[in-house]
C-alpha cells in the first residue's frame, strides 16, 4: 500500500467517527448483564475493633472495654493529655501489643469476635499530673484522633491537694500560716481541682493534739471527693510540714476504711517536709547553739515532746509514691538558737520506695525564712502540674544485690520479739563479705555509699563512691566486711546543682539492712 492510499483510508476512518454535526461521537460501554458494584470509601469501612470505654481500678494500669467485629490482633497505646483529643502534644505512658494468643481479663482470646475487657499494666502507673488530667487509650497506630473516635477511649482524673502546717502556729492566723496559703494557691494554678489548706492552728500549740486532726482532715477529703461526678477517678496528694506530716499520716490511716471507690482508683502520694513528730523516742531531733540559752531551748522542746508523745510520721500501706524533703543543719546556720531536724528515714509500709532529698547543703532549716516549707513552695510546688521534672530527674534508688530474705526467729513472743521479727523481715543475707549495691541516679552524678552497724543507727561511715553512667545506672562493691548485720544508705551529688546554692539538693536512699558471713546472734 502506497503512502497516498494509506492517507486516503485514514481520512475516511476519521470522517466515519464524526456525527452529523461533524463532532466526534461519544462512546460508552454496554453494561447489559454486568453485576452492579458499589465502590466503598475507606471512611465507610467498619473497623475490626471499636473502643467502648476506659478506666482504672488502682492507677497502676488502665482497663479498656472494646468490641471486635472481625478477628484481629489488637494493639493499644496509653497517653496523658490536656484534653480528650489525641494529638502530637500528648505524653505516651505505655503500650500493649498482644500476640494472637493473648487473653483478655476473662480468659478469652483478646482478638476474637465479641466484647472484651482487658487491663493494660503501666510500669510507672498513672501518677498525679494536673496539667494532663485525661488518660487516652488508642487502638492501632493512629497519631491523632478526636474525642468520640471508634479507636479512642478516655477518662478524666480529678486531683485533690492537701497542704498541712505543723505545730506551734500563731493562733491569730485564722487561715493558717502564709506559706501554707501561698502553696495552696500555687497548686490551684497548677491545675489541682480542689486544694485543702488544712488549718489546725487553734490547737497546734497544745501537745498531743496532732493525731486527732488526721480524722478531721480525712472527713474534709471525703466531702470533696463526693462532690466530683459519679464514677470519677480521684488522685490525692498530701503535703505536710513538720508535725503536719503526722496529721497527714493519720488522715491516710483514717481514710483506709472509708475511701470512696474513686479515691481507691486514684493515685495516692504523700509528701513530707522535714517530718518531725513531737516525741523524744524518734531518732533525728535537733541542733542547738550550745551554752545556757541553747540548753534551755533544748529542755523546753524535750518537755513539750514528752507531753505530746506523738506517733511517728510514716508511709502507710496503699500509698503509691512518697517523697521526704529534709535538712540536718547546724543551729549556727542563719544564727539559730535551736533547729529541729527532719526525722529520717521514716518507716515505710507501702509497696512504693520513698524518695529522699537532703536540703542541708542548700542552707535550709526547719522553719522561717529559710525553712524547708518555703523552699518547697519556691522550687517544687510551681512544677507539680508537670509532675516535678527536676525532682524526678534527681530520684535516687538502690538496693543490695544477690541477697536473700532472713528467716524470723521462731518460738519467741512479746513486744521485743515482735520488734526483732520486724527488723529481720527487712534484713537480707549476702553470700560473700564483699557486698554489691546497684540502682539508678541522675546521669553522671557521683554516688557515695555509707555503711554502719545496724544496732547503732547513729554510727555510719563512708564505704566508697562511684558514678552513674549516661543512662543513670550505678553499681558499687565494698571491700570485705567483717561478719555482722549492717545498714547502708547512698547519696548522690549532681555537679550542676551544687553550683546553685538554692538548689543544692542531695538525694538520699536507704539501701537496707543486710548480714554477711551468716546470721549473727540477735
Same domain, 312 and 355: yes
Is residue 516 within 8 Å of 435, Cβ to Cβ?
yes
**For residue 325, what are the CA distances in angstroms to 34, 178, 283?**
80, 19, 16
**144 & 189 share domain:** no
Q: Which helix (H) or strand (E) holds 287?
A: strand 286-288
Over residues 123-176, the pLDDT tens digits come to 999 999 999 999 999 999 888 999 999 999 999 999 999 999 999 888 788 889
* Among candidate residues 391, 416, 436, the one where a domain is terminated: 391
Choose between 141 and 114: higher pLDDT. Answer: 114
Radius of gyration, alpha carbons of the chain: 33
Per-residue pLDDT, averaged over 64-78, amounts to 95
| Residue 8 resides in a domain | no
Q: Is residue 30 part of a domain?
A: no
Q: Which of 7-11, 74-78, 249-253, 285-289 has the lowest mean pLDDT?
A: 7-11
User: Would you say residue 7 lies in a domain?
Assistant: no
| Cα 417 to Cα 423: distance, rounded to the nearest angstrom | 10
DSSP 391: H
Residue after which a domain boundary falls, among 391, 421, 453? 391
**Mean pLDDT confidence for 444-459:** 90
| Phi, psi for 287 (deg, rounded to 5) | -125, 140
Percent of the chain with pLDDT over 70: 86
**pLDDT of 170:** 82
Assign 35 a pLDDT band (cuts: 50, 70, 90).
very low
Determine contact, residues 56/154, Cβ cutoff 8 Å.
Answer: no
Average pLDDT, the chain: 87
Residues 220 and 176 placed together within one structural domain of the fold: yes
Residue 404: which pLDDT band, with cuts at 50, 70 and 90?
Answer: confident
pLDDT on residue 408: 52
Question: Does a structural domain hold residue 430?
Answer: yes
Do 165 and 296 reside in the same domain of the chain? Answer: yes
Single residue among 108, 125, 150 that ends a domain in this structure: 150
User: 346-383 pLDDT, tens per residue?
Assistant: 999 999 989 999 999 999 999 999 999 999 999 999 99
- pLDDT at residue 509 above 80? yes
Positive or negative torsion for Cα 257, 262, 264, 267: negative
Same domain for 409 and 499: yes
Q: Are residues 473 and 445 in the same domain?
A: yes
Any residues with CB less than 8 A from the CB of 6 and at least 6 apart, and which? none
Statement to judge: residues 240 and 307 lie in one domain: yes
Whether pLDDT at 187 is above 70: yes
8 pLDDT more than 70:
no
- The structure's pTM equals 0.84
Same domain, 102 and 169: no
Burial of 107 (0-12, 13-18, 19+ CB in 10 A): exposed
Lowest mean pLDDT among 24-33, 298-307, 363-372: 24-33
Question: Are 71 and 170 within one domain?
Answer: no
Residues 336 and 416 grouped into a single domain: no
Residues whose CB is less than 8 angstroms from the CB of residue 197 and which lie 6 or more positions away in sequence, other chains included: 163, 175, 176, 180, 181, 183, 184
- Domain match, 387 and 403 both: no
**For residue 10, pLDDT beyond 70:** no
Residue range 56-83: mean pLDDT, rounded? 96
The reported pLDDT for the residue numbered 498 is 66
CATH no. for residue 57? 2.60.40
pLDDT at 416: 43
pLDDT-based confidence at residue 313 (cuts at 50, 70, 90)? very high
For residue range 218-238, what is the model confidence (pLDDT) as tens digits? 999 999 999 999 999 999 999
- Whichever domain contains 301, its CATH number is 3.40.50
C-beta atoms surrounding 45 within 10 Å? 8
What is the C-alpha separation between 406 and 434, in angstroms, rounded?
18
On the question of pLDDT at 324 being above 60, the answer is yes
**12 found inside a domain:** no
CA-based torsion, 506, 510, 516, 521: positive or negative: positive
Overall average pLDDT of the 261-283 stretch: 97
pLDDT for the residue 419: 45
CA 198 to chain centroid, in Å, comes to 23
pLDDT digits 0-9 by tens, 472-504 = 999 999 999 998 999 999 999 987 676 677 788
**How many Å apart are CA 173 and CA 274, to the nearest integer?**
22
**DSSP string computed for 165-187:** --SS--TT-TT--HHHHHHHHHH
pLDDT category, 465, cuts 50, 70, 90?
very high
pLDDT reading at 338 higher than 80: yes
pLDDT in the model for residue 455: 85
Residue 16, domain member (yes or no): no
Same domain, 186 and 138: no
Q: Please tell me the total count of domains within the chain.
A: 3
- pLDDT at residue 72 tops 70: yes
Give a yes or no: residue 345 inside a domain.
yes
The whole domain housing 435 covers 397-516
Inside any domain, residue 9:
no
Residue 337 near residue 292, CB atoms below 8 Å: no
What pLDDT does residue 34 have? 45
Amino acid at each position: 500500500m502506497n503512502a497516498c492510499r494509506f492517507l486516503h483510508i485514514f481520512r475516511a476512518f476519521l470522517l466515519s467517527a464524526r456525527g452529523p454535526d461533524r463532532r466526534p461521537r461519544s462512546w460508552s460501554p454496554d453494561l447489559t448483564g454486568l453485576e452492579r458494584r458499589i465502590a466503598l470509601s475507606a471512611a465507610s469501612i467498619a473497623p475490626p475493633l471499636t473502643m467502648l470505654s476506659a478506666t482504672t481500678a488502682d492507677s497502676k494500669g488502665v482497663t479498656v472495654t472494646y468490641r471486635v467485629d472481625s478477628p484481629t490482633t489488637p494493639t493499644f497505646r496509653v497517653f496523658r493529655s490536656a484534653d480528650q483529643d489525641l494529638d502530637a502534644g500528648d505524653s505516651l505512658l505505655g503500650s500493649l501489643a498482644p500476640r494472637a494468643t493473648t487473653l483478655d481479663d476473662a480468659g478469652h482470646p483478646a482478638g476474637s469476635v465479641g466484647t472484651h475487657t482487658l487491663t493494660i499494666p503501666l510500669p510507672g502507673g498513672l501518677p498525679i499530673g494536673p496539667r494532663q488530667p485525661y488518660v487516652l487509650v488508642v487502638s492501632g497506630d493512629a497519631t491523632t484522633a478526636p474525642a468520640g473516635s471508634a479507636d479512642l477511649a478516655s477518662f478524666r482524673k480529678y486531683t485533690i491537694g492537701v497542704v498541712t502546717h505543723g505545730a506551734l502556729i500563731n493562733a491569730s492566723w485564722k487561715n493558717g500560716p502564709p506559706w501554707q496559703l501561698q502553696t495552696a494557691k500555687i497548686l490551684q494554678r497548677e491545675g489541682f481541682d480542689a486544694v485543702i489548706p488544712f488549718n489546725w492552728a487553734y490547737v497546734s500549740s497544745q501537745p498531743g493534739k496532732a493525731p486527732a486532726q488526721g480524722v478531721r482532715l480525712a472527713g474534709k477529703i471525703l466531702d470533696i471527693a463526693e462532690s466530683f461526678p459519679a464514677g470519677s477517678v480521684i488522685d490525692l496528694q498530701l503535703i505536710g510540714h513538720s508535725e503536719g506530716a503526722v496529721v497527714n499520716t493519720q488522715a491516710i490511716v483514717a481514710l483506709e476504711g472509708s475511701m470512696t471507690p474513686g479515691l481507691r482508683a486514684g493515685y495516692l502520694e504523700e509528701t513530707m517536709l522535714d517530718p518531725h513528730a513531737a516525741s523524744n523516742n524518734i531518732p533525728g531531733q535537733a541542733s542547738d547553739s550550745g551554752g545556757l540559752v541553747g540548753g534551755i531551748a533544748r529542755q523546753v522542746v524535750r518537755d513539750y515532746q514528752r507531753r505530746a508523745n506523738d506517733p511517728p510520721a510514716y508511709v502507710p500501706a496503699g500509698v503509691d509514691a512518697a517523697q521526704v524533703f529534709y535538712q540536718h543543719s547546724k543551729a549556727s546556720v542563719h544564727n539559730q538558737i535551736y533547729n529541729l531536724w527532719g526525722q529520717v528515714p521514716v518507716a515505710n509500709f507501702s509497696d512504693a520506695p520513698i524518695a529522699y532529698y537532703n536540703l542541708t547543703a542548700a542552707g535550709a532549716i526547719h522553719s522561717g525564712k529559710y525553712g524547708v516549707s518555703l523552699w518547697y513552695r519556691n522550687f517544687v510546688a510551681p512544677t507539680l502540674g508537670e509532675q516535678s521534672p527536676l525532682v524526678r530527674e534527681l530520684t535516687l534508688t538502690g538496693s543490695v544485690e544477690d541477697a536473700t530474705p532472713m528467716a524470723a526467729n521462731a518460738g519467741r513472743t512479746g513486744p521485743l520479739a515482735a520488734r526483732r521479727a520486724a527488723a529481720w523481715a527487712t534484713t537480707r543475707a549476702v553470700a560473700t563479705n564483699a557486698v554489691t549495691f546497684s540502682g539508678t541516679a541522675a546521669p553522671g552524678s557521683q554516688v557515695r555509699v555509707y555503711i554502719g552497724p545496724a544496732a547503732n543507727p547513729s554510727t555510719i561511715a563512708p564505704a566508697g563512691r562511684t558514678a552513674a553512667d549516661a543512662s543513670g545506672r550505678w553499681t558499687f562493691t565494698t571491700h570485705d566486711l567483717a561478719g555482722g548485720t549492717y545498714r547502708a544508705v547512698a547519696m548522690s551529688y549532681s555537679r550542676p546543682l551544687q553550683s546553685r546554692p538554692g538548689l543544692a539538693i542531695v538525694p538520699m536512699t536507704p539501701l537496707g539492712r543486710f548480714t554477711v558471713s551468716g546470721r549473727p546472734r540477735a
